[in-house]
């Protein structure tokens, strides 16, 4: 196995993970969860769509919720490119790669490019959005988890090694990765554009599906406070995992399932990774911190469940990587 | 069922939970765990005994560890009485109750009274200890969990209702309690002398055994930090439960198993309960917060395991109260 | 100089500092400050009186604000006694001491005793109050400083040594004290009944006046958060001192002036002091931590200003103790 | 007045503020301060030079201290460029601008370019450094202020408007700025390359001098903890300002003076600023939050004092902007 080579002079300039578009069954229920528990701010509610942003964000939205009467799905994950010119270059790049790339109109966004990656993940790119006031210092209005900004999303898919190579060619840098036992292939990849460990995380599972999207928050105090608030407001069992500390990436996290089962992470403790000499960190599967630094393993639902993309077949992973779930851990203990 | 009546003019003045005496197999291993992870200070190491205190404590010890070559046990739990005269009154009180009460010499403690309660728990009372410097403001020396002071211990025993009545006659006030489904009897009791919810907690299980002893710490930040430190120092799986938030008592907690399996809690968020009008809080077993405010239930080991007292038979509980363990919860979910 | 002797068997049982009664010019303005910034809960607003309590408190009120068209003052500071019988004993005790002690009716309180101490401070004692729900775990409703419970008040008066002796005869224990340069007399005394460093603090200044009353809060995070909220809501200059760390008492504090100039402290980091062997801590005036552990000294307004009691002459202190104010400190630096 | 235009396609790619080189009189005293109080890690001590890095940093150093027997100064401030090729372009760019640009050898750094900007600030650029282990998750070793990474430095100089234009031509983006009362000119500029508010801050004062350099830390808890630790270790008066909250930039800060008088900031609460639509935030001098959100103004020493660069004349500012210092504020209050 070799890890793909970094591309320091990318064909167009993706700057960061930008937004996620989900469908939900009850917009009012979702609004309550995402504002009172997670602490996002509402930018607009228009017809069947609710636009939310983090307290720190000046962009119009980082989370879009649309009402559905069907199965809740993830319509699309969005990235920012720096300039309109980068959009044009992106269009040319994907077209040259044989992918269907289409310019579309999306409310509150600048010109927007739709592409589906070769693995089935529906992507969206734009260079700008409408500007909203940052609420960073409106401390008296902060609620619950005080979600500050969208940081990354994690995609489950059958071919991490392949997807990793695809995204690295576009300038994503690999910050950390996990290999199989005999290092035949990559089973988890942390990819970044914005100078901290991840904009896009890829994990080996049946997919493509989105595992979670993650917002930063301020501190450990808030990670526990959001759980207390969740409990008070009837979402005690929505706390699916944590608070805890990851091994790879080092994030201090808590995971929630929203009323439709979509998974959101709040976390702290990023590190900066910008310099050219920073080599990717490799995690062997037997590393004691491969999963987390302390506490019990994640339950099976956290490991295996995710949200589907529309009209995309979910296929099994190319390699089977055994994961010690909470269920297996407790059973082994007897 | 009726709850026992409070006694406002007790026969002698117990002021607080004071200390715990445990046996351990490897004193050096225990010292490392309790100082580097939990953050206790060493007052003395003498022969086969290690004396530890919290960062805030001026008393010589709140935790005594003695080397054993056998099964690790809890030798005794200790309470403070206010004056030497209270000791004399305690001796008379227990003798009149038909319990064997003996004055003994214990290093670093004033005159000490040994009594075994009618349920088999070995108790120890003293009015004073040698004085050590408080390390409360030696911030640069604080480590790991920054354990500040012993607050309470929890005893598992078959007859909570009976034990509750026994201790309330000596002036313990009932702050919170849990009843069986049809309220026939008390299955958990929080008893206090010092003006916050608990010095002595009684839970319905096979016993008598000590479930855990609890030290206060400073804040939510520290509850997560101690877990990180535990993970770094090889105690990641010693984090048995939490961080989380209890329903009854409201403590924000994390539980550890020490190298011998003894259980220690670090927690924050007490409340003050001193006024005569404060009635005990009753928890019905089906109350949604009966167990905790958010997150997954405790694993079976946390619910059922405890440390034995020397030479005391462990008997099954008088009533069977079904508890939803993590194992049952996950199995029910499928 | 000698410090007064402790009385372990007091004539009646005062349990804790209980409440403060202030007058204010604009009840709505005060309500906004105390609820949105400090984070107290409203128990009742009746006519010209507003009753507030901390988030943790089950008692009806710990702060009473009454509308005045005159100069804002402190009407009275209140203590709890344990039983009604203690009230009767208190009445007898003060009458025997030649002080006028009167039973009065006070809304929401049990039978209440009014006494003025020999130094002019108007006191109030009751054994019980109406019970309100504790809001300790209503985390989603907590605001600003999340004030949890009234802990103590500080009185400025000309004869600290005398007042210290007066209160210790009633069972107050001296936890810490400051002496003049040649130790002729006590110029600051921390007195307690409830087992932590202070219910009543006495400082050498013109008086009697109340310097501040203090509520506990949860952690360092909240001490800074309340300042941010204060700034947002237009009270940025109401942050009079801190956040900082006291030397004596060790509290981590922040002080505010309310809209009428009354001073309130929010603080963390108490220690428990209950055992009979705990001797009072003596601070010499030249001790480097006599004032605070780090940062700049308090401004003159904090040192010298306070709230008057009704109809009581303010007299100068018996001893002059030079205090290094912020103004003097900066002037000396040039 | 107009603000300089942003340059989205810069002549070479500066990625971030990288390091600061100071001289100090006692290397051992500085080492103690920066490791035990601030919490930096030592990468190397070689001869008369001490190399330090933040807990999160993989680069060899972000702070270099060199022993001097003379007046302590700041030798140079350093930036990173992305590739070696950017170094070559930078050399050409500065030479074309008529500035002397020299390649030099600097220990532990890749090829390094020395340039002095037109205002007298000695700069240093490199594309890479030796790699050291990140200590981010070595939680048990973290001390004091837990400084995580160098974020920015602030330069005092007479012509902020001119310097702002100079740096923006090289791709720095203006995130926030302060103008004079009638908006004739910029008197403070926050310039950034790495996607948060500042790599380089320029303030109107006699200069060029360095006002401070700033490291990120984890949370509010740590900002107060570092002060407590400073107090314990004899640096209580080294806490020059804060903890507090800035208006512009929003940082939650504390400032220290090191044993030689160099100023270091620890702070939290950045925001991300990457998108092309983000216009610079303008602060008018009379904005109530122009200085800070709450508390007292900064003392004069904080406003006026700074560290000189070697052999550069300090000249007075082109415009006089009156600043309300703590001294003036207290005097005005009487």
- Beta strands A63-67 and A49-53: pairing type? antiparallel
Q: Please list the alpha-helical segments (H only) found in chain C.
A: 27-32, 84-96, 160-168, 220-232, 300-304, 326-333
CB contact under 8 A, C143 and A140: yes
pLDDT tens per residue, range C278-308: 999 999 877 766 677 899 999 999 999 999 9
B221 vs A223: CB contact, 8 Å cut-off? no
Give the nearest partner residue to C219 out of A36, A138, A221, using CB atoms. A221
The 10s digit of each residue's pLDDT in A140-162 is 999 999 999 999 999 999 999 99
Residues B62-114 pLDDT 10s = 999 999 999 999 999 999 999 999 999 999 999 999 999 999 999 999 999 99
Reply yes or no on whether the pLDDT at B170 is more than 90: yes
- Position C189 scores a pLDDT of 97
Other Cβ atoms less than 10 A from the Cβ of B171: the count is 18
> Does D239 contact C301 at a Cβ distance shorter than 8 Å?
no
Q: Note whether residue D138 is domain-resident.
A: no
Comparing CB atoms, the residue among C227, C293, C327 nearest residue D245 is C227
Which of A14-28, C68-82, D175-189 is predicted with the least confidence, judged by mean pLDDT?
A: D175-189
Residue in A131, A304, A324 with CA at minimum distance from that of residue A205: A304
Q: Name the residue among A140, A228, A232 with its Cβ closest to that of C36.
A: A140
Q: What percent of chain D is modeled with pLDDT above 70?
A: 99
**Stretch B213-240: mean pLDDT:** 97
- Distance CA(B196)–CA(B215), nearest Å, equals 13
pLDDT at D16 over 80: yes
pLDDT at A284: 85
Whole-angstrom Cα distance, residue A211 to residue A304? 9
Distance CA D129, CA D110 (A): 5
Q: What is the pLDDT of residue A289?
A: 65
Predicted confidence (pLDDT) at residue D271 exceeds the cutoff of 70: yes
Give per-residue pLDDT as tens, D292-309: 789 999 999 999 999 999
- Token pair, residue B52, equals 């530890």
Asked if residue A5 belongs to a domain, the reply is no
D98: left (phi over 0), alpha (psi -120 to 50) or beta: left
Q: Which residues of D touch C288 (CB under 8 A)?
A: 236
Among D274, D289, D293, which would you mutate to test the A interface (most chain A Cβ atoms within 10 Å of its Cβ)?
D274
Which of B140, B145, B229, B234 is the mutation pick for testing D, counting most D CBs within 10 A? B140
Contacts of B326 in chain A (CB under 8 A): 326, 330
The pLDDT of residue D323 is 85
Whether the CA torsion B272, B273, B277, B283 is positive or negative: it is positive
Nearest CA-CA partner of D192 in D214, D223, D225:
D214
| Residue contact C277–B129, C-beta within 8 A | yes
Give the pLDDT score at B289.
Answer: 65
Return the sign of the alpha-carbon dihedral for residues D133, D139, D143, D146. Answer: positive
Lowest average pLDDT, out of A268-277, D123-132, D217-226, goes to A268-277
Contact at 8 Å (CB) between C200 and C172? yes
Those chains having 3 or more beta-carbon pairs within 8 angstroms of chain D are A, B, C
Other residues' Cβ atoms within 10 Å of the Cβ of residue D257? 20
Least confident span in A107-111, C128-132, D59-63, D328-332: D328-332
Return the partners of chain C (3 or more C-beta pairs < 8 Å). A, B, D
* Residue D220: count of CB within 10 angstroms of its CB: 27
**Looking at residue A183, what DSSP letter applies?**
S
Residue B149: its chain C contacts at CB < 8 A?
A: 271-272
> At residue C248, does pLDDT exceed 70?
yes
CB C236 to CB D296 under 8 A?
Answer: no
DSSP string, A7-29: -SS-SS-EEEEEEEEEEES-HHH
Token code pair at residue A13: 């300039």
d(CA B219, nearest CA chain C) in Å: 6
Chain B: residues touching C (Cβ < 8 Å): 8, 15-16, 56-59, 80, 82-83, 110, 127-129, 131, 134, 136-137, 148-149, 194-195, 218-221, 245, 250, 268-269, 271-279, 293
Interface residues from chain B to A (CB-CB < 8 Å): 219-221, 223-225, 227-228, 230-232, 235-237, 239, 243-245, 252, 288-289, 292-296, 299-301, 326-327, 330, 333
Residue D192 has pLDDT above 80, yes or no: yes
Residue D35 CA to chain centroid, in angstroms? 19
User: Is C252 close to D294, i.e. CB distance below 8 A?
Assistant: no
**pLDDT confidence bin for D1, thresholds 50/70/90:** confident
Q: How confident is the model at residue D289 (pLDDT cuts 50, 70, 90)?
A: low
Structure tokens at C196: 């932590």
Residues ≥6 apart with Cβ < 8 Å to C94: C100, C101, C113, C115
Query: B333: pLDDT confidence band, cut at 50, 70 and 90?
Result: confident
Contacts of C294 in chain D (CB under 8 A): 227-228, 230-231, 235-237, 239
pLDDT higher than threshold 90 for residue D285 = no
Residue B179 pLDDT > 80, yes or no? yes
Alpha-carbon gap: A144 to the closest alpha carbon of chain C (Å): 7
Query: Looking at A170-179, A185-194, B179-188, C149-158, which range is the least confident one?
Result: B179-188
B238-246: average pLDDT: 96
Q: Among A313-322, C7-16, C19-28, which stretch is predicted with the lowest mean pLDDT?
A: A313-322
Q: D242 falls in which pLDDT band (50, 70, 90)? A: very high
Q: Per the structure, how many domains does chain B have?
A: 1
Asked whether residue C9 is domain-assigned, the answer is no
Residue A2 in any domain: the answer is no
Judge: B227–A295 Cβ closer than 8 Å, yes or no: yes
Q: Which residues contact C17 (CB under 8 A, 6 or more apart)?
A: C77, C78, C79, C80, C150, C151, C152, C153, C194, C199, C200
Report whether B55 contacts B142 (CB < 8 A): yes
What contacts C266, CB < 8 A, 6 or more positions away? C38, C145, C147, C214, C215, C216, C217, C222, C223, C226, C253, C254, C256
- CATH number, domain containing residue A191: 3.10.180.10
Substitution target in A225, A236, A298 with the highest count of B β-carbons within 10 Å is A236
CB C39 within 8 A of CB C142: yes
Nearest CA in chain C to B134: C271
Give mean pLDDT, residues A58-69.
Answer: 98
How far apart are the C-alpha atoms of B48 and B69, rounded to whole Å?
Answer: 11
Contact B137/D219, CB-based, under 8 Å?
A: no
- Does the distance separating the beta carbons of C289 and D231 come in below 8 Å? yes
Examine residue C290 and state whether it is found in any structural domain, yes or no.
yes
Asked if the Cβ–Cβ distance from D144 to B140 is below 8 Å, we say yes
**Hey, how many other C-beta atoms are within 10 angstroms of the C-beta on A172?**
24
Distance CA A188, CA A203 (A): 4
Contact B294 A243 (CB under 8 A): no
Given a cut of 70, whether residue A290 has pLDDT beyond it is no
- pLDDT, tens digit, 9 for 90 and up, residues A10-57: 999 999 999 999 999 999 999 999 999 999 999 999 999 999 999 999
* SS3 per residue for chain D: CCCCCCCCCCCCCEEEEEEEEEEECCHHHHHHHHHHHCCCEEEEEECCEEEEECCCCCECCCEEEEECCCCCCEEEEEEEECCHHHHHHHHHHHHHCCCCEEEECCCCECCEEEEECCCCCEEEEECCECECCCCCCCHHHCCCCCCCEEEEEEEEECCHHHHHHHHHCCCCEEEEEEECCCCCCEEEEEEECCCCCCCEEEEECCECEEEEEEEECCCHHHHHHHHHHHHHCCCHHHEEEEEEEECCCCCEEEEEECCCCCEEEEEECCCCCCCCCCCCEEECCCCCCCCECCCCCCCHHHHHCCEECCCCCCECCCCCCCCCCHHHHHHHHC
Please list every residue in chain C whose beta carbon sits closer than 8 Å to the beta carbon of residue A140.
36, 143-144, 229, 232-233
Bridging pattern class, strands C209-216 and C307-308: antiparallel
- Mean pLDDT, range A196-210, rounded to an integer: 97
C222 pLDDT more than 90: yes
Domain limits for position C49: 14-131+143-333
How high is the pLDDT of residue A1?
73
Partner-chain residue, chosen from A82, A194, A277, that has the shortest CB–CB distance to D276:
A82
Asked if residue D172 lies in contact with residue D192, where contact means CB atoms within 8 angstroms, the answer is yes
Q: Is B276 helix (H, G, I), strand (E, B) or coil?
A: coil
Structural element, H or E, at residue A90: helix A84-96
Nearest to C127 among B83, B128, B276 (CB): B276
Closest CA to B229 of B238, B242, B240: B238
Give the per-residue pLDDT at C284: 85
D239 CB neighbours in chain C (<8 A) are 294-295
Establish if C2 belongs to a structural domain.
no
State the virtual CA torsion across B140, B45, B19, B309 in degrees, nearest 10: 140
Within-domain flag for C6: no
Helix, strand, coil share (%) of chain C residues, nearest 5: 20, 35, 45
What does the block give as tokens for A42? 């509402």
Residue B7 lies in a domain: no
Q: How far is D215 from chain A (nearest CA, A)?
A: 12
């Amino acid at each position: 196995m070799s890890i793909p080579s970094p591309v320091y002079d990318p064909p167009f300039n993706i700057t960061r993970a930008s937004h996620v578009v989900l469908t939900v069954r009850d917009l009012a229920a979702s609004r309550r969860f995402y504002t009172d528990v997670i602490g996002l701010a509402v930018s607009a509610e228009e017809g069947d769509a609710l636009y939310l942003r983090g307290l720190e964000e000046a962009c119009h939205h980082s989370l879009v919720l649309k009402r559905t009467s069907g199965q809740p799905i993830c319509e699309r994950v969005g990235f920012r490119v720096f300039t309109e010119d980068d959009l044009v270059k992106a269009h040319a790049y994907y077209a040259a790669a044989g992918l269907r790339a289409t310019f579309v109109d999306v409310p509150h966004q600048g010109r927007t490019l739709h592409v589906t990656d070769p693995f089935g993940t529906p992507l969206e790119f734009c260079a700008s959005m409408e500007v909203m006031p940052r609420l960073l210092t409106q401390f008296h209005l902060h609620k619950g988890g005080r979600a500050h900004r969208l940081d990354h999303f994690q995609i489950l898919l059958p071919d991490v090694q392949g997807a990793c190579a695809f995204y690295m060619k576009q300038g994503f840098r690999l910050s950390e990765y996990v290999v199989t036992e005999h290092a035949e292939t990559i089973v988890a990849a942390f990819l970044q554009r914005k100078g901290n460990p991840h904009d896009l995380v890829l994990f080996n599972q049946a997919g493509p599906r989105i595992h979670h999207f993650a917002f930063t928050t301020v501190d450990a105090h808030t990670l526990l406070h959001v759980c207390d608030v969740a409990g008070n407001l009837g979402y005690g069992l929505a706390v699916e995992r944590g608070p805890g500390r990851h091994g790879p990436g080092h994030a201090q996290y808590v995971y929630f399932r929203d009323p439709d089962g979509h998974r959101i992470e709040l976390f702290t403790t990023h590190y900066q990774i910008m310099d050219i000499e920073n080599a990717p960190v490799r995690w062997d599967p037997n590393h004691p911190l491969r999963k987390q630094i302390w506490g019990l393993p994640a339950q099976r639902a956290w490991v295996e469940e995710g949200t589907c993309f529309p009209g995309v077949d979910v296929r099994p992973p190319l390699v089977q990587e055994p994961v010690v779930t909470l269920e297996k851990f407790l059973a082994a203990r007897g």
